[in-house]
Chains A and B, each alone.
Chain A
Amino acid sequence: MSASITEHAPAQAHHHAAPQGWIRKYVFSLDHKVIGKQYLGLGLIAVCTGMALSWVMRYHLAWPDKAVPLLGLIAPRFAAGGIITPEFYLQVMTMHGTIMVFFVLTTAPFAGFGNFILPIQVGAEDMAFPRFNMMSFWVTFVAFGVLIAAFFVPDGPALSGWTAYAPLSAVGKASGPGEGTGQTLWALSIAIFCVGQLLGSLNFIATTLDLRTKGMTLMRMPYATWAWFITAIIALIAFSVLLPACVLLILDRVAGTSFFIPAGLVVSDALQPHSGGSPLLWQHLFWFFGHPEVYIAIVPSFGIVSTILPVVCRKPHLGPRVLIACMLAIAGLSYMVWGHHMFLSGMSPTSATLFSVPTLIITIPSAIVTLLWLGTVYGAKLRLTTAALFCLAFISVFVTGGLSGFFLSQPSIDTYLHGTYFVVGHFHFVMGVAAMFGIFAGTYYWFPKIFGRMMNETLGKWHFALTFLGVYATFMPMHWLGLTGNVRRYSSFPSDYMHGSLPLHRFITFSALFLGGAQLIFLVNLIWSRFRGPIAPANPWEATTLEWITTSPPPFDNFGGVHPVVYHGPNELGVAGPRGDYVMQTDPPAAAAAV
């Protein structure tokens, strides 16, 4: 441990003693580091499941008449002989979207890395409420189990998409296979998930506000911690609205209420016994959560990139205050734009304009942040580690996805593009892949701290190169498909005007399989490095923030019984310090000045 840590009286005594026994240590652990790893593990299982589901969809889109290999064996009840029905396609699509958005893009970058790193970066021994923290993970785990259980009920999972639009999602079995028990499990799972994330957000906010160590002023907090803190505020508000929406949806389904079901609705030739509900109400409640959810997925990656870039560039981050202000502005604006998902819902042109304008305004702080990253990289002697490469790739896909957002934010253009693959390409770049690249960057950067071993950089670079190629080959052509009018959520286009797009669909499918194959390199690297990687020193990247003053991995109480005192911001890079071209946050001012 670095000698520069100065002891001071703890702001808060440690809440709990080191656990004894395997169950308390690794399963029902109160330790934020174990909980962070549990979240990352859940994310890894979820992302593999979600990716496998996407292959089923891609295979069917490319070869609509052929049986999907192995599927007949794995899911004989739904796809006998591997043949996919339109209904099963929608079920797979719903599960892919739900798993990826909730259990990967929310859990890994926010709950996973945030849990492990945030308390250490602010110099705390643990989260403010360790019991709530443990509950947060296990509640989320139960939510995942409930969602996956839908594969094992007679009609299978829901088919109403990850947005579960009412009244399709509200009327029950009448609206299709999977809309019985499967859809109820979906709503229940998401409601439970909301509870888990609310408990997590509560912890993130209270820990950041109350448990910062001496000298760790808000402006000295590392950018990743800022990003998790801001994300927690967004998540707290967003999930507080999605939870009531799910409760009302469940009541419509099981208790006969009519919150979202209008009068006189006929589904599958049967008049529904409901009256007076508003399907649009679901859309409003859902998107009031749904748009901020995009930022719950992406803002942690902002923080991860802003934390890694100065370290690999060996110079300070450009405009740190502007960066934080922009993240706050994005968080605020994210609550004023939900209606841009509903341009086609029949809203008045005036309302559409009112939602379009803040959507365009939100591009300003996003563009400023991008320029700050580019300005930080400009003229730097870049250390091209795998983490650095994924940061640069993050900027690339964020800009690509952001540019297509310009088009979609305008109601007149969105009217044409909304139901097409253009939107699929857009959100996979800006939300899916960008956040994934943030997760990859974070993994390569913090793996040594989390597991005490270095990852293999050669494998990492191969993983990066193939993933980058695969991502553009998979999602870029979707924009073109969309412009030609290729609608999304259709299971096949065998004999109509979209038949001509089949060759491009096949190219996308090959690319998606290639992209998935490239992830095997990552998995191999993870497993090999975990057990056989070279032992990691305390600070392998010569970074400045607090997680690097402690051992890799950190001890149970993070800093071995002492409490760090912070004298500097996280940005002291490219300066003469006691150990080289950087000053760590805990280096005493005298030592730094003496150099």
Chain B
Amino acid sequence: MQESMSPPSTARTGVWVGIAAITMSFAAYSSAMVIRQGPVPAWQHFRLPNVLYLNTLLLVISSATLELARRRIGGPFDRLGRVDLARGDAMQRRMRWLYVTLGLGIVFLAGQYLAWTQLASQGVFLATSPSSSFFFVLTAVHALHLIGGLGALTYALRSLRGDDGPRPVNVLGAAALYWHFMAVLWVYLFVILALWV
């Protein structure tokens, strides 16, 4: 029986469930921020560092480059569902966009760090005001999740190198789903931070 030639991607299901959990968790953080911001006189607005606009752009682009990578790596398959190396580019060339994505992710994190140091040099720290507390917490928690995403992409990269079956493609698909979610989540956070802090 060959019914299970393309096994259900538990990795993908896992990522969807993880997305649900992370969404809930950021819903909690951001609703806490909205509630705090309302009646509090101590809420001090401050200007977001400009580098955040560049970071946002980079992360959105990284999502696009990952999609390019995924499409090149994801097909074509041979009859048994394995990546057909004879057809299409050599694997190493096809994975180029994946490296670009990883690079952009690291540059984004460096950019976030730069934003924090810029704020710190202006005397805006975690405990300075309620608005700065939320800024640092939201960006730091997002960065932690993004580091998880970098780990997932690296894991996918390693499995693509070591295994030419359908499994690594599934892993890459799941990691890509997570990465896109990180980009969407960041855009949401950036908007609410720009509006409220």
The 8 A CB mask of A33-51 against B (1 = contact, 0 = none) is: 0000000000000000000
The 8 A CB mask of B5-35 against A (1 = contact, 0 = none) is: 0011110011001101110110111001001
B25 touches A240 (CB 8 A): yes
Of the candidates B10, B25, B130, B133, the one whose C-beta lies within 8 Å of that of A243 is: B25
How many residues of B are in contact with the other chain, CB < 8 A?
34
Contacts A129-B10, A276-B43 given; indicate if A241 touches B28 (C-beta within 8 A): yes
Contacts of A241 in B (CB 8 A): 24-25, 27-28
Q: Interface residues of A toward B: which range?
A: 35 or more
A251–B138 Cα gap in the complex (Å)? 13
A277 at the interface (CB under 8 A from B): yes
A129–B8 Cα gap in the complex (Å)? 13
Smallest CB-CB separation from B1: which chain A residue? A9
Contacts of A9 in B (CB 8 A): 1-4
CB of A512, distance to nearest CB on chain B (Å)? 37
Chain A facing B: main interface SS: helix
A129 touches B14 (CB 8 A): yes
Contacts of A8 in B (CB 8 A): 1
Of the candidates A236, A255, A275, the one whose C-beta lies within 8 Å of that of B126 is: A255
A240–B42 Cα gap in the complex (Å)? 28
A128–B130 Cα gap in the complex (Å)? 41
Contacts of A10 in B (CB 8 A): 4
A218-262 at interface with B (beta carbon < 8 Å): 236-237, 239-241, 243-245, 247-248, 251, 255-259
CB of A375, distance to nearest CB on chain B (Å)? 35
CB of B46, distance to nearest CB on chain A (Å)? 15
Of the candidates B1, B3, B9, B25, the one whose C-beta lies within 8 Å of that of A244 is: B25
B36 at the interface (CB under 8 A from A): yes
Contacts A12-B8, A248-B32, A257-B126 given; indicate if A276 touches B41 (C-beta within 8 A): yes
A202 at the interface (CB under 8 A from B): yes
Smallest CB-CB separation from A15: which chain B residue? B10
B110 at the interface (CB under 8 A from A): no
A210 at the interface (CB under 8 A from B): yes
Smallest CB-CB separation from A276: which chain B residue? B42
B10 touches A257 (CB 8 A): no
**Which residue of A202, A236, A277 has the most chain B CB atoms within 10 A of its CB atom?**
A202
B127 at the interface (CB under 8 A from A): yes
Of the candidates B1, B18, B32, the one whose C-beta lies within 8 Å of that of A259 is: B32
A243–B25 Cα gap in the complex (Å)? 7
The 8 A CB mask of B107-144 against A (1 = contact, 0 = none) is: 00000000000000000001101100100010001000
Contacts of B130 in A (CB 8 A): 257-259, 276-277
A243–B24 Cα gap in the complex (Å)? 10
A367 at the interface (CB under 8 A from B): no
B8 touches A210 (CB 8 A): yes
Contacts A245-B28, A257-B127, A276-B40 given; indicate if A210 touches B4 (C-beta within 8 A): no
Of the candidates A128, A236, A247, A284, the one whose C-beta lies within 8 Å of that of B21 is: A236
**Which residue of A202, A247, A257 has the most chain B CB atoms within 10 A of its CB atom?**
A257
Contacts of A368 in B (CB 8 A): none
Contacts A210-B8, A263-B42 given; indicate if A248 touches B20 (C-beta within 8 A): no
Smallest CB-CB separation from A232: which chain B residue? B17
B21 touches A202 (CB 8 A): yes
Contacts A202-B21, A240-B22, A275-B42 given; indicate if A259 touches B36 (C-beta within 8 A): yes
Contacts A11-B8, A240-B21 given; indicate if A285 touches B127 (C-beta within 8 A): no
Contacts of A245 in B (CB 8 A): 28
CB of B142, distance to nearest CB on chain A (Å)? 12
B8 touches A285 (CB 8 A): no
Contacts of B32 in A (CB 8 A): 244, 248, 259, 281, 285
A259 touches B133 (CB 8 A): yes
CB of B37, distance to nearest CB on chain A (Å)? 10
CB of B27, distance to nearest CB on chain A (Å)? 8
B137 touches A251 (CB 8 A): yes
A205 at the interface (CB under 8 A from B): yes
What would be 26 A-B contacts, judged by CB atoms less than 8 Å apart?
Answer: A8-B1, A9-B1, A11-B7, A11-B8, A129-B10, A198-B21, A201-B21, A205-B13, A206-B10, A206-B14, A206-B17, A210-B10, A237-B20, A237-B21, A240-B28, A241-B24, A247-B137, A247-B141, A248-B137, A255-B126, A259-B36, A259-B130, A276-B40, A278-B35, A278-B36, A285-B28
B interface, CB within 8 angstroms of A = 1-4, 7-10, 13-14, 17-18, 20-22, 24-25, 27-29, 32, 35-36, 40-43, 126-127, 129-130, 133, 137, 141
A interface, CB within 8 angstroms of B = 8-12, 128-129, 198, 201-202, 205-206, 209-211, 236-237, 239-241, 243-245, 247-248, 251, 255-259, 263, 275-278, 281, 284-285, 288
Top 7 A-B residue pairs of the complex, sorted by shortest distance between their CB atoms: A276-B42, A240-B24, A256-B127, A128-B10, A240-B25, A276-B40, A241-B28
